[in-house]
Structure 1
């Protein structure tokens, strides 16, 4: 859109909200000015200027700028850039959005062209991508976190946008309601791109009277944006999804999960919460649930969106429909509570090289002996799903009395 191009910062001094990176003493500012880096990784939510910073770095050193998105770019795209860069005879900047989507072979190719000096790499991600990068690329990369602009930062951006509207619509003034600025800031959810697009969209449906552009805050409801979705709603929807899984309602769980996706939440964030649910809420009632979710997570990363929604729906409806148990989760809590008040040490026969230890396989597969100074039961299996078999076995081995509810 014209407003995004017109208001994109042309110098580092025009960037707002990233003072921790652009202060004169900041490491980021200094390596950018000197050009003394091989690879930079920028982390931050959507719409806060990761691409803008990358462009400014290229402009700082008059470098040719290439932009790729890891979700829809491959090895051929990288090789093409390398060949073009060789022809130019100077270093270029390759900016890769959502760099954590690149597989190992693609990352190894990046590694080679970085070491050959053909390009400087700038990666961007909405989450910390380090655990997805191969070790050699990690060691060559400097990671910098970008912060969401503060409210005062958006007020500066608003004034810039109003100035642009005056020129774009050839009016002497832009008239707006007192609460318009705050409503737009709230609706943008700290996304600068969305903030500008909403302002431009409002201007397009506003009236021009007496060489003035009249913008009404009431018109925000006419915009094709979900202006009610904010951080609180994100946590409310995530909570509703997990509680629906815990309550064995697959329909409600799917509803809230897709509501999150439709509002721009990265499905991988949802998958990570599902991994927790598989242990916290299902546990040993269906021990394989964790493997199913993990497999779904890995499959989603290979497939991506929009088909990845099928995998997400598969995993969510599965978790919500199977037997539940929180007994292993409760065992964790009870054990932690015990350790807050006690500092136990292993019995002598369990210590290293002890001759008094009884090897269970010498007695079949089990022999009674103490494994802690005093017997404490943290884990009390339920009689649900597979965990019922665990319950029966432990009772057979240790006696029913210690597992009876008190």
Structure 2
């Protein structure tokens, strides 16, 4: 929409809601203005200014700007940029949206871009991508977090939007209902881009009376992705979906999952919770659930929406229908509680130069011996799904040594 271009920040000081990054003494601002960086990673929700900031850095440093999206760009695009920048005689800015989706091979190519002084890298993601990045790329990167726009920041955008509407529609006054405006702030989910789109749509729906325009804020949620969705409901819906999966109700899980997806929540956010649930709530009762959930995410990413919704429905109903066990999750917490209070030493027989260790395969596959001096036990399997077989096997092997 035109309002986005007209109100695009012309300098760092124009970016709303990120005072921690662009304040006078902010480390981030000093760093980007100095140009003394190899790689920056921006983490934050949609519409918080990540892409605009990258573009402004390119403008401020007077460097050529290349933009890639990790889901649609490949190694050939990176190689092409390397060849192009060789002729500039100076570095460029390479901005990569959803950086965490790049493979290890593609990340290795990015290292060539950085180390060869062909370009400075700026990566962006709505999720913390660190666990998906290679160690060499992490070591070269500074990470900065962008925040959702709060009420104050949205009001700043609103005032700028009103000025734009006055000029665009040649009116002297713009009227609006305060309650409707407050609801539109909620609908925006702290996304500045979405909020300005709502505002422009409200102007299109507005009513003229002489040199006055009354904004048509009522009902704009019907035309904006996300409907009446707000930030609180984001977490409520995630909670409802996971609790329905945990409660083995595939129908309810599907309702809340699809509402999340249709509300504009990033799929990776939803799938992250599904992957966690596959271990936390299903665990060893059906170990393949985690593999299936991960494969479903990869398939969803490859297919995209709307066809990917079929895959999404598949994985949600599958996880909800699986036998459940939280015993691995509980064992983890029990072990952590123990370690917080104790400092166990490795038994003599398990040390590198220790003596007395019995090689299990010399006895078939198992031999009873102490792997901790205290004979600890944290994992207590349930009689559910595949875990029932695990329980039976552990009881048989350990007999009276442990209570399985």
User: How high is the TM-score relative to the length of structure 1?
Assistant: 0.86
Q: Shift of the alpha carbon at 1:348? A: 6.6
1:74-223 equivalent positions in 2, closer than 5 A: 74-221=74-221, 223=223
C-alpha separation in 2, matches of 1:88 and 1:350: 63
- Aligned residue number for residue 18 of structure 1: 18
- Please state how far the C-alpha of 1:387 moved relative to its aligned partner: 2.0
8 A contact 1:66–1:94 mirrored in 2: yes
SS of equivalent residue, structure 2 residue 195? helix
Aligned-pair CA distance for 1:274: 2.0
Choose 214-223 or 152-161, whichever is displaced more. Answer: 214-223
Larger Rg: 1
1:225 deviates by 4.2
What's the offset of the Cα at 1:229?
1.2
SS of corresponding position for 1:41:
strand
Q: 1:291 to 1:222 in 2, by over 3 A?
A: closer
> What is the TM-score of this pair, normalised by structure 2?
0.87
Distance 1:374 1:36, change over 3 A: closer
Bigger shift: 301-310 or 138-147?
A: 301-310
Query: 2:247 maps to what in 1?
Result: 247
In structure 2, relative to structure 1, the CA distance for the partners of 1:330 and 1:119 (3 Å cut) is closer
For the 8 Å contact 1:17–1:153, the answer to whether it is kept is yes
**CA-CA distance at 1:198 after TM superposition:** 0.3
Measure the CA separation in 2 of the matches of 1:221 and 1:296.
Answer: 31
| Equivalence map 1:7-406=2 (5 Å) | 7-221=7-221, 223-301=223-301, 304-334=304-334, 343=342, 345=344, 352=351, 363-368=363-368, 378-399=378-399, 403=403
Unaligned runs of 5+ residues in structure 2 are: none
CA contact (8 A) 2:201 2:220 kept: no
- What is the alpha-carbon distance in structure 2 between the residues aligned to residue 121 and residue 199 of structure 1? 34
With over 3 angstroms needed to count, the CA separation of the structure-2 counterparts of 1:209 and 1:284, relative to structure 1, is same
Alignment RMSD: 3.0
Aligned length in residues: 403
| CA distance in 1: counterparts of 2:316 and 2:11, whole angstroms | 46
Distance in 2 (CA, whole Å) between partners of 1:364 and 1:221 is 66
Point out where structure 1 has 5 or more consecutive residues left out of the alignment.
none
Which segment is superposed worse, 168-177 or 24-33? 24-33
- Structure 1 position 4 matched with structure 2 position 7: no
SS in structure 2 opposite 1:24? Answer: coil
